[in-house]
A and B are shown apart, each in its own frame.
Chain A
Amino acid sequence: MRRTLAAAIGLVSIAAAAAASAEPPAGAAACSGCHPASTRVTSPVPRLAGLDQAAIVRAMQDFRSGTRAATVMDRIAKGFTEAEVQAIAAWYATQR
């Protein structure tokens, strides 16, 4: 019984995570202004869909701290909290 409940709770959190990943978190939709959503567009700016979550987070941290050279991303990265970046990166990692 206890195990069934635990399994049920586990399912709830998985369902919640799935529902949350369907809708882009705050700020994520704006990225595709420059980062192509489509594979048909050629751009020196990389697509974010399918990128590793940790890699996106690291890039944003480095843009914010100035350790990675940037044109506009240094100015944009400073507008997002660590938690927002984590959520955006997690969402893009699930996109294709």
Chain B
Amino acid sequence: MRVSRREFLKLGGAATSAALFPCPTFAQGAAPRVVVVGGGFAGASCARALRQADPRIAVTLVEANATFTACPFSNAVIGGLRELSAQQFTYERVAADGIAVARGTATAVDAQARSVTLADGTRLPYDRLVLAPGIDIRWGALPGYDEAAAALMPHAWRAGEQTLLLRRQLEAMPDGGLVVISAPANPFRCPPGPYERASLIAHYLKTKKPKSKLIVLDAKDAFSKQRLFQAAWAELYPGLLEWVPLSKGGNVTSVDAATGTLVTDFGRHKAAVANVIPPQKAGRIAEAAGVADRSGWCPIDPVTFESKLQAGIHVIGDAAIAGAMPKSAFAANSQAKTCAAAVVRLLAGGAPSAPKLINTCYSLVAPDYGISVAGVYQPSGGQLADVPGSGGVSPTDAPRASRAAEAVLAEAWFRTITGELFG
């Protein structure tokens, strides 16, 4: 038998198409439909990665807000170092990729019929659904802390008006006032976030209101980048910033917003400004879709990010239980791209291959003092685990030049990742 080059190419071409697209979705001739709920670091990244990987996929991004307000660097807004507008992005370029941006709130998911319902009644059918709903506050978990209390004691854990409220309260506080931050037990969004915030508020107080004091009441005895933060606090903010761990009475058991009081097992703290970072859970739609477990977060397959509770629904970002990966914007973006690749393979009837993911997370202790944690992750034992021997935090003995370099890299990271999402 002799196969001419031309015939071979024809045969090869047919074989390649069949191998790539044997699934019903493509075979029926209809464009596969993927709905992504949530336009943050996870959702917007995933929507764009899907379109980029295969422009034939009809991608709809469901997002309630016209403007995205980023949490990373919002502590610098609170500390008066940055304006909120630098945190804000629109979805114009996302839409220009050919992604249908549906303004609205997803309120229900029918996993059997494979459709999402929005608050206005719109029904969006899907072949695969990606949920990237971020976090919701667990209202009522901390006695006395409800939505009305948050108007007096801001959480500022979803960036926007709450961020500005906390900043205004700090600006209005007389010199000599007591600022109290309450940090929750694990897991929660952005593990080093409360300590970066404490640092940048301390920087503000040191610069503008040096007679003031800042207490961090913590429901934990250990936290992310702890040694680095504590060494920097001793150097930069001695006598100004006090961290009270769980074992020393740091656990806040209730609050009284009207009087600005935070109650612990060991006593009461009356704050001039109180920032309560409350217990959290996966964004509301996760529970409605049946992908959240009793912990309030979403168990996922570490290769595809498909829910362990509902077939056809993937969960990425802060809402997911991602093993060793922290709930950070970098992790959300890394997960989004992994999930998008898996969804493309699954829609084509293929089997996703084992991924490798990265996290890098910078914190500012002062405007020119940055520290970082990095990690590399792979599926292991049904979870995402650290690759042995990799990752870790900035060296404890690094010179100030290296802290300054990490502060510069932190801002560069923010420009790069928001450029990938919204630029």
Which residues of A does B touch, CB under 8 Å?
Answer: 1, 4, 7-8, 11-12, 15, 19, 23-24, 26-27, 29-38, 40-45, 71-72, 75-80, 84
A19, A26, A72: which has the most chain B beta carbons within 10 Å? A72
The reply to whether A34 and B356 form a contact with Cβ atoms under 8 Å apart is: no
Once the chains bind, are A76 and B416 in contact (CB under 8 Å)? no
Q: B337 at the A/B interface (Cβ < 8 Å)?
A: yes
Q: For residue B374, which residues in chain A have a CB less than 8 angstroms away from its CB?
A: 72, 75-76
Complex Cα distance, B405 from A28, in Å, reads 24
Describe B's contact surface by its main secondary structure: helix
Asked whether B390 is an interface residue with its Cβ less than 8 Å from the other chain, the reply is yes
Contact B420 A38 (CB under 8 A): yes
- Chain B residues, CB < 8 A from A43: 412, 415-416
| Residues of A contacting B: mostly | loop
**Pairwise interchain contact B360-A76, C-beta atoms closer than 8 A:** yes
Residue from A29, A33, A78 with most neighbouring chain B CB atoms (10 Å): A33
Residues of chain B having any CB pair with chain A under 8 Å: 2-3, 5, 8-9, 12, 16, 49, 53, 330, 333-334, 337-338, 341, 353-358, 360, 372, 374-377, 387, 389-392, 394, 402, 405-406, 408-409, 412-413, 415-417, 419-420, 423
In the complex, are the beta carbons of A11 and B12 less than 8 A apart? Answer: yes
Q: Which residue of B lies closest to A19 (CB)?
A: B16
Closest chain A CB from B379 CB (angstroms): 10
Contact A38 B360, CB 8 Å, known A11-B8, A32-B416: no
CB-contact partner of B355 in A4, A26, A77, A79, under 8 A: A26
Contact A30 B334 (CB under 8 A): yes
Give the docked Cα–Cα distance between A15 and B10 (Å): 13
Contact of B360 among A7, A33, A78 (CB under 8 A): A33
